Amino acid sequence: GEDVEQSLFLSVREGDSSVINCTYTDSSSTYLYWYKQEPGAGLQLLTYIFSNMDMKQDQRLTVLLNKKDKHLSLRIADTQTGDSAIYFCAVWYSSASKIIFGSGTRLSIRP
């Protein structure tokens, strides 16, 4: 079946890089997304990657896609306190014509 998995928590020191990982099951996935949810708010799209790409960089954000292992990661360089949020991986499953969200990774920043 369709599934998207993430670890629930990540804690990093301010200024370090954060790497949030995601695995998915359906190899027919075409678009893969990272959303950010700040406290008390809805989700906002951070970035997305098309399945024919291995990497996408956007300022402090780097998305890596390993299609063979069905693994997606989001790297945040120079993590700041404002990056504290829940980060959701989401995958468009072509076979089911729908987006499946992971359970979200709560990123905490240590001073």
DSSP per-residue codes, the chain: ---EEE-SEEEEETTS-EEEEEEES-TT--EEEEEEE-TTS-EEEEEEEETT-SEEEETTEEEEEETTTTEEEEEESS--GGG-EEEEEEEEETTTTEEEE---EEEEEE-
Nearer Cβ to other proteins (97/111): 97
Nearer Cβ to other proteins (58/111): 58
Q: Which stretch binds other proteins (CB under 8 A): 12-20, 56-64, 69-77, 93-101?
A: 93-101
End-to-end CA distance of the chain: 41
Residue 53 binding other proteins, by CB under 8 A:
no
Nearer Cβ to other proteins (18/36): 36
Closest separation in Å from C-beta 38 to other proteins: 11
Closest separation in Å from C-beta 8 to other proteins: 7
Q: Which residues bind other proteins (CB under 8 A)?
A: 4, 6, 8, 30-31, 33, 40-45, 48, 88, 92, 98-104
